[in-house]
Amino acid sequence: MAVVVTDRFSNLLYWNPFAEKLFGRPGTSGPRDQSLSLGIMEKDHPLAVELSKHVLKGGVWEGTFDVRRGDGTIIYVRAQAVPLRHPSGSVTGIVITAREAMRSNEREKDRFGLLERIGERLAGSLYVEETLKRVAEMLVPQFADHCFIELMENGRLFRKVSTHVPGWTPPPNTWAPIGAEIFYPTGHYADIALRRQETILVEDFSQTNYPSPGESQTRLSAEIGLTSAIVAPLCVRGETLGLLYLGLSNLTDRRSPHYDAFDRDFVGAIATRVALAVDNALLFEEERHTAESFQKYLLPRALPQLDGLEIAVRYFPAAPLASHGQGIQTQVGGDWYDVIPLSAGRVGIVIGDVEGRGAKAAAVMGQLRAALRAFAQDDKPPAEILARLDEWTRIIATPEQDESGTDISIPPIVTCQYLVYDAWSRQLSFANAGHAPPLLLINGVCTELDIKEVGQPLGVRAKGLHADLVYKEETRTLPPGAALLLYTDGLVDRRPVRDADGRHPNDEETLALLCGKLVEITDAAAGDISVEGIADAATTAVPGEIDDDMAILVVRSASDDLQVEERTFPAQPIMVGEARRMAAEAFTDWDVSEERAELACLLVSEVVTNVVLHAAAASIPRRELAMDGPPLPFEESWDVPGFDDEIANEKEFTLRIRRGGESVWVEVFDQDLRLPRIRSAGENDEGGRGLYLVDQLAKRWGSRPTKEGKAVWFEIPTKSR
């Protein structure tokens, strides 16, 4: 029995000789040891802290720990902790008594604690190879000298684990190695276990005679003195996944070199938990493939062709991990990007990152991307779009309630940056929700885009704090030829790579390295580098393997200005013809085909007429007309001097026409806040068909609110429809 005594602060006061043997640590006879942990594995440290608090309050604790010894082996320890009391009654420390589980007369009592611990360890593994590795660690050398695990693949049995006591490995061409297909002869105890789906015990090989799986294997078994074995099928949901094989030999000095019926039942119970863990791991890997499909089909498959803007994107899942199995090659996460065509040639640019990995993160990413695309069509300012997306992030949180029925749903945490770029004015409007600022590359100089207001990530805003106070819109002018690099943290957070001094670069150094690489390739190309080249350079600039999925989006403004015509008119009916004339002249100067120009001029007339009529109608109820004397007769009531002039001069509209590579965009701005909608005109109605014509003849059309009122716009292709 190991006996360990500590004070209230975990300083070691006493450690008996068997404690050294059990925990594999040297005895401590000198100064107090502040780092005492008894070799308890790191994942159990929180449990150790909690039990210490419980015992120091006067309680008693009993349970099972898994302990890693100095040689790397894992054993299970049954421990009891009681308070150490001063004669006055106060608790001054903790007394721990411990012994190796399953090595006493209390095996039945220990069995339940051990199964619980084994189940906990297996539950923490979601990869097949990692699960099987943990099984071997748990069983060798405490319960076995040799452990084989074989899994079925397409009806054939393949060895996945071959673990033995430390310091010994089977010679080549003896026992089958990992990856080899395994054949057990008919009548072999492993074959019986598979066919009967029951755990088979071979208590003593010297007293039995089973068919040999091979001459070399039989010879090696005799050399090491294989004494006893247990073979348990891994069965779950009525299906046999494989075999768990445990063996004892003369390579170790044990109290009993033979298994008994109790061991058989115990290993059978372990095999049940192993089978569940393997099945869960296989299902998890299937989920991983589903998540990969999410990312493949939810991210944009092709980018739109945009005027005045070059775009390049990259997406890289994380690099393969050593613990992966069954062909999984990537880590799946929630990074995304998007490019959204908006009104009149403007474009919405998005980069975002959902916290976490797996199918859930990918599913959240897909919902947020679809929601943001829908919100963006309203053409609201970027800050309003992020505010709406923040609310949506809370809505899609997994519903959870506590015991009292109170909603305790935790929204996913998402960082996001949304930008709107107008290539004709070169104006860049944006709002940020906790995302890393983009890098701005201008004339061989690389800096972070100056963002004064970085809001909180989506989903973490405190209750009672309105989103308008969290997300702020900022505006910059993007110079000709300037490039923006938007990225997720996977670009700079790589698996640790030491520099020449043996240090791990910090975030600032990594960012400086990235900027330096971008400047270097820009200088090498004398400034004439494509956005694809910038994206490629950014991908390889930071050394180390990708530890998280990574999204990169590069945009660069055009060097030349785009063609635009703009003029403001009074909101008078006579101005409809002037607006149409301005449009016709612009289309002629731009060499737009006559057919396309006539169609565009017709729609200009309809939209401008609609604006003028509603502008005049909207002004009447908004003014208060004061007249002296008795009311005028109806036929004279409109003959008030200056009344018509006030109505006409009160409103005005602006016509803006933009020339793109394959389309022209027409925008009409006015001060009326009411957005237009298509009406269902009756057979004898004189009006109500203007917007219907626009809807039928234009490629796209819409309206959006502005600071002064609204804008109605439509797009006409300059080539054949």
What does the alpha-carbon distance between residue 313 and residue 199 come to, in Å, rounded to a whole number?
Answer: 55
In a domain, 48, yes or no: yes
pLDDT tens string 568-627 = 999 888 899 999 999 999 999 999 989 999 999 999 998 998 888 876 665 444 444 445
**Do 500 and 595 belong to one domain?**
no
pLDDT value at 521 more than 90: no
What does the alpha-carbon distance between residue 356 and residue 291 come to, in Å, rounded to a whole number?
Answer: 12
In a domain, 456, yes or no: yes
**Do 159 and 74 belong to one domain?**
no
H, E, C per residue of 292-339: HHHHHHHCCCCCCCCCCEEEEEEEECECCCCCCCCCCCCECEEEEEEE
Q: Please name which of 388, 340, 393, 394 lies closest in space to residue 367, comparing C-alpha atoms.
A: 393
**Do 380 and 337 belong to one domain?**
yes
In a domain, 706, yes or no: yes
In a domain, 623, yes or no: no
Does the global pTM surpass 0.85?
no
Q: What CATH number does residue 669 fall under? A: 3.30.565.10
pLDDT tens string 448-465 = 999 998 888 998 876 666
Average pLDDT on 430-449 reads: 92
pLDDT score of 316: 82
Q: What CATH number does residue 448 fall under? A: 3.60.40.10
**Do 515 and 594 belong to one domain?**
no
**Do 180 and 238 belong to one domain?**
yes
- Counting the structural domains of the chain, the total is 4
pLDDT band at 223 (very low <50, low <70, confident <90, very high): very high
* Tokens standing for residue 205: 């090989």
pLDDT tens string 337-379 = 999 999 989 999 999 999 877 667 888 888 999 999 999 988 8
Q: What CATH number does residue 83 fall under? A: 3.30.450.20
* Tokens standing for residue 143: 């319960």
pLDDT score of 305: 85
Q: What CATH number does residue 158 fall under? A: 3.30.450.40
pLDDT score of 630: 57
Contact 274, 135 (CB under 8 A): yes
Average pLDDT on 291-295 reads: 66
Choosing from 101, 134, 160, the residue where a domain stops is 101
pLDDT band at 330 (very low <50, low <70, confident <90, very high): very low
Contact 243, 190 (CB under 8 A): yes
Question: Would you call 353 helix, strand, or coil by DSSP?
Answer: strand
Q: Please name which of 380, 353, 378, 382 lies closest in space to residue 470, comparing C-alpha atoms.
A: 382
Choosing from 253, 286, 319, the residue where a domain stops is 286
Task: Provide the percentage of residues in the chain whose pLDDT is more than 90.
Answer: 35
Contact 695, 678 (CB under 8 A): yes
In a domain, 76, yes or no: yes
What does the alpha-carbon distance between residue 423 and residue 705 come to, in Å, rounded to a whole number?
Answer: 19
In a domain, 477, yes or no: yes
**Do 96 and 130 belong to one domain?**
no
Contact 547, 319 (CB under 8 A): yes
In a domain, 404, yes or no: no
Average pLDDT on 301-307 reads: 84
**Do 523 and 381 belong to one domain?**
yes
Q: Estimate the crossing angle of helix 531-541 against helix 507-524, to 10 degrees.
A: 140
List the single range of 96-110, 149-163, 515-529, 586-600 with lowest mean pLDDT.
96-110
Instruction: Identify the burial level of 707 via C-beta atoms within 10 angstroms of its C-beta, where 0-12 means exposed, 13-18 middle and 19 or more buried.
Output: exposed
Domain that includes residue 269, residue range: 107-286
**Do 194 and 244 belong to one domain?**
yes
Which helix (H) or strand (E) segment holds residue 423: the answer is: none
pLDDT band at 416 (very low <50, low <70, confident <90, very high): very high
Choosing from 516, 535, 557, the residue where a domain stops is 557
Contact 412, 355 (CB under 8 A): yes
Question: Would you call 205 helix, strand, or coil by DSSP?
Answer: helix
pLDDT tens string 232-269 = 999 988 889 999 999 999 998 887 889 988 888 889 98
**Do 386 and 355 belong to one domain?**
yes
pLDDT value at 41 more than 70: no
Task: Provide the percentage of residues in the chain whose pLDDT is more than 70.
Answer: 80
Question: For the chain, what is the mean pLDDT?
Answer: 82
**Do 58 and 113 belong to one domain?**
no
Residue 260 per-residue DSSP state: -
**Do 9 and 74 belong to one domain?**
yes
Sign of CA dihedral 692, 697, 702, 706: negative
In a domain, 96, yes or no: yes
Give percent helix, percent strand, percent coil of the chain, each to the nearest 5.
Answer: 35, 25, 40
Cross-strand bridge partners of residue 235? 240
**Do 441 and 552 belong to one domain?**
yes
